[in-house]
Chain A
Amino acid sequence: MGLLSNPQSRQKLVDAVTKYNNILCALCYVVGVVWFLALAYPPLNARTYFSENALLPGVVHSGFSFDDVPEEFISEFKEELKKEKRNVPRNWVYERFREIGLETYIQNYTVKYPLHLVRGQIVPGQNVYSILRARRSASTEAVVLSVPIRSKSSDLPPTYGGIVLMLGLAKYFSRQPYWSKDIIFLVTDHEQIGMQAWLDGYHHVYSEYIRPGDMPGKSGPIQAAINLEIPSGNIKYFNVKIEGLNGQLPNLDLVNLVVRLCQKHDAEIMLHNNKDAPHWSAETVAGYQQSLKTMIKMMWAQASGLPSGNHGLFHRYHIEAITLEGIRKKKSGQISLVTTGRIIEGIYRSLNNLLERFHQSFFFYILPGTQRYVSIGLYMIPFAIISIALWVSLGQEEKSSKKSDDVKNKSDDTSVVKDKADDKDKTTDKDKATTKDTEGDSSEAVSGDKLNVDSLNKLMDEEDDFDMEDKPQGVLTILPLLLSSCIMAILCYTGPDILAGMAVPFKMNIEDGLFYGFLALFTASLLFPRMVARRTAEDNRLLFDWALLKTITLIFQSLVLFSLALLNISLAFFLAVLFVPVSVIVHPSKNKLSRWSQKFLLLLISPLSILFTAAIISIMDKDNGGILGLLYNGWSTLSHGLLLSMVDKYFFGSWLFALFSFAVLPNWLTLWGISFCEAV
């Protein structure tokens, strides 16, 4: 409180902030970004450890082996796949589970595509699941093992291995006496949609677009889930996928468990196909680069807000889940399906030991390797330092707004005259009040004389319009800009429904319709400062209290960034890195060069360019054939990605689209408006 209540030290602080404003801002930004990236360096982060003692990873002997020959199963399954090109052999899977002797059910569901994507048609789907009832408890808790089943026409790598492994494990598990949690074996169709339908059905959630059918058999609340994407043998290494919907992460203990068990069986495990930096070279430059690459890749995946596998949908229901993906290399792949089975057996034995839900360890973390982690306490500090730059620059706005007030007063002749008249009035009043006291301001007068009633009455009646004239003007001038950016945000959010409705009668492709609709909206928003200027001023000059607008924008932006940092730190970090410097720099200026460079910078961070860059980065790994090919592919990925994020919004409740339309776009628009303001 000393800082707040002591006016002297406080004034010093404020003065320092206003004086070294620009340097402080730049310093905060650079220090923040460097510190954040430096967190990948091993001495600055920590080694993962098991927080939950009950897991007891890897203490039991794994005894899994296939009863049947897995290769036979695989070829049988492949033949089934060939029979139907488009459909998946659910019935075959169903029969196999029945043969093992488990409770097996088929869940039907229907999918209604939003935005008239599939006109009037409702797509059906089926999930197969079977429940191994625990012998030692009354179905009060369950763990899930799931595999997505993919048809021949799917672009994604096949998961034969996963299905065969699941069947083998089901048979093996059903003979073991030690289970105290039900195990649900789940085979889902249509990738994430099927998974969402199953989860919705299990938890009695009904949405408009995915309509799950009734589920005849159920178990207790699900504690954890592992999703398998395993090819048929010859596995070179595993990937552990953690990023869930909206950037939610599973408990770190579950990740640790999977990593530890893979290590126990000498199977290599990676994050996003990136090896951990070996521990002997971790603290060298090469090691740091390796860790940084892993961390950035992990953050990139998290920032997208899309689940990196089917596990991502479990997180919404407070279920910890990961995907274990096997990467097949025909020649060098050494890990067999049996070893994979043993790893999974170990994981389930550990999960079986759990006494409570996962609640220890971390939920907010960044991984620079499978065995190192950066916790929320570590990454929040540099992030806060980046965002503080916004607040520091607020000090400057205060100063400049005062200055601009002064300037306005001077230019406004009439107000000066009025001011003088006012002053005269005041002095005459004072003279009356202090008739006997000629030395008015001297120190003795302070305590001695008191006002009398007459002068008070006069003072009270005195017209004092000078104060009032100035203040509301500030708010009123920026109102058109604020309102129009709000309207743009609402248009952007509600646009897809309207556009899709319009695209149908025009026989347009929905994807194109949406994409060009957004382009049109964006172009309109580019021009909106001009439109506002035409409406408000006679000479088409845009004049408003820009300092106030910038203050509001900066406060709004820091608020958005901080709230986002709690939900999805990666996205918050990337947005902060892009937005903070430009937001701090933007101001009206007389210099043409600085005006245009500001506009150029703003265009660089416009929502469209951000999305386009993101699209290009995401397809960088693939072969695109030169720069032009890359740009073209990026463009089509962007239009496809926009549609997908829309569909995700309807199907899974992803809030990425809402965030962009309600936070990023209006924020950018106000900044764009400021860059158009005439400098006085």
Chain B
Amino acid sequence: MAFNIGIGVCLAVGVMIRLSLFRTDITLWFSDRGEISNALTSWRKVVEGIALSDNDISPYSGDLFHETPIMLRVFKMVTKMMPNKLHYFFVLLDIINGLIIASIGKHFSHYLLRKQLSDVKKYAVGVEKLILRKDDVDMIQLSMVATHFLNPYSIAICLGKSTAVINNLFIYLTFMFMLKGNVLMCMATIALATYQSLYPIMLLAPAVIYFNSKVHLGKSYKESEFLSQCSFTTTIGMAMIGCLYGLSYFMEGSFKFLHATTGFILGVPDLTPNLGVFWYFFTEMFEHFRPFFICVFQINAFLYTVPLAIKLRDHPVFLAYVLVTLMSIFKSYPSYADVAVFITLLPMWKHVFSYMRNTFIVANMFLVCTVLSPILWHLWIYAGSANANFYFAIALTFSTAQIFLVTDLLFAYLRREFDLTNGLVHKLDNGKDAQVMLD
């Protein structure tokens, strides 16, 4: 009960902050920030695209509009319905996101306890301190909702009217349906997210593993059928993605949109500075190396799915989380919207925080980068005294901070698992204290 009141308070405070900030000029500033609205997420581009399509010009014929055909129609409907109250639409989306996150929190805590129950036979004696209690998992839900409504990144993307909020919605939904155990809806949301920003296709891996895992299936789990079941589920997901593209084809009457959406994500033609690593590298590069390095960079973005899926095959939800974070680091047009997702979902792993070692450093890196990036942008673009290297240095530091966070979390998670199975006290054969190291 107390937790429900807490969630309600967070929601009210979050909505109040958003609505009151929408009345100030700060929204304009946010919507101009390169870290919040880039070519894929800028609301201004959406408005342009709607105007073009209202005048019967295909918005995809130029190099302006990069939303998908379905989203174009959704946004069109929304702008027709509430032309002057658009900010309510974004606040509403944030409220929906918050409710989904509350649901994720609830189901995830059940999932954790269920998983603990099924794994208990593996646990060593003397690990009582590590065992999750009902109170611990109840806190997860509240802290996730609080993080969503109060963290500055979520507030900033809402105020900046970043269209990535919708993409985030699908990612949250993926988590929710996955934990609820709804295969079809989960695949559908992955398909929608993939259709929007391509990279979430990686989430197929954890989802497929989850739905065919022992925890989910219970007694009907058969080791021998694992692979065939997996491929079946994958096929469902891929078919849904295909359907969405087919639907878009019928809406647009041509495949022109592919070049402006998925092609735009893969080819990285827009090199406006953001907090990613692509723009700097590709502005410096000779044109004839470009295709090769684009392949390298994009493969790099997707590559981690395979080793992580093998390593974390027993922990699909954690795998999904790590992949979401990696997406934010390596995608071609990252923005604070991606950061908001993994920061919001971070409290899911509250129980491994005590194993994390670099929290202080990572938190400070995030803080410094967030504050310095607009300053260096100002010095570079307006004052003309700094240059691109200054801004890129901060972008690189920001990526490093994210990598530190995800590796630290990964190490902490695995270390906790190790301790659960091997006990808290580690001794060498000769009786000395051993130190567990990760190299």
* Interface set of A (CB-CB < 8 Å, partner B): 4-8, 10, 248-249, 315-316, 318, 357, 359, 363-364, 426, 429-430, 433-434, 437, 440-441, 443, 445-447, 449-453, 456-457, 459-465, 468, 555, 559, 562-563, 566-567
Contacts and interface: CB of A to CB of B under 8 A. Distances in A.
A590 B276 CA distance: 51
Instruction: Identify the 7 closest CB pairs spanning chains A and B, nearest first.
Output: A363-B385, A446-B423, A318-B384, A443-B427, A451-B123, A449-B125, A459-B131
A452 B116 CA distance: 11
Given A429-B128, A446-B425, A555 B121 contact: no
B439 A5 contact: yes
Given A445-B423, A559-B367, A563-B375, A453 B126 contact: no
B82 interface: no
Contacts of A364: 385-386
Interface residues of B, number: 47
A10 B404 CA distance: 15
A447 B423 CA distance: 7
Given A447-B423, A562-B372, A567-B379, A10 B437 contact: no
A450 B411 CA distance: 23
A449 B121 CA distance: 9
A6 B357 CA distance: 10
Contacts of A465: 135
B135 A463 contact: yes
22 contacts: A248-B383, A315-B383, A316-B382, A318-B382, A359-B384, A363-B384, A363-B386, A429-B128, A437-B125, A443-B431, A446-B126, A446-B422, A449-B125, A450-B120, A452-B120, A456-B123, A456-B131, A459-B128, A460-B133, A468-B139, A559-B368, A562-B368
Given A315-B383, A456-B117, A460-B132, A8 B371 contact: no
Given A446-B427, A449-B124, A461-B133, 5 more contacts: A4-B361, A440-B125, A443-B427, A446-B126, A447-B124
Interface string B381-415: 01111100000000000000000100000010000
B122 interface: yes
Contacts of A318: 382-384
B357 A450 contact: no
Contact of A563 (B131, B371, B427): B371
Contacts of A437: 125
A646 B364 CA distance: 33
B376 interface: yes
A566 B376 contact: yes
Contact of A566 (B134, B386, B438): B386
B113 interface: yes
Interface of B: 113, 116-117, 120-128, 131-136, 139, 357-358, 361, 364, 367-368, 371-372, 375-376, 379, 382-386, 404, 411, 422-423, 425-427, 431, 435, 437-439
Nearest to A364: B385
A456 B371 CA distance: 46
Nearest to A465: B135
A555 B367 contact: yes
A464 B371 CA distance: 38
Contacts of B134: 460-461
Given A446-B423, A555-B367, A562-B368, A430 B128 contact: yes
Given A315-B383, A440-B125, A566-B372, A446 B426 contact: yes
A463 B357 CA distance: 28
B118 to A, nearest CB: 10
Contacts of B136: 464
**Of B117, B126, B435, B439, most A-chain CB atoms within 10 Å:** B126
B226 to A, nearest CB: 24
A4 B425 contact: no
A249 B385 CA distance: 8
Contacts of B358: 4
A6 B411 CA distance: 12
Nearest to A556: B367
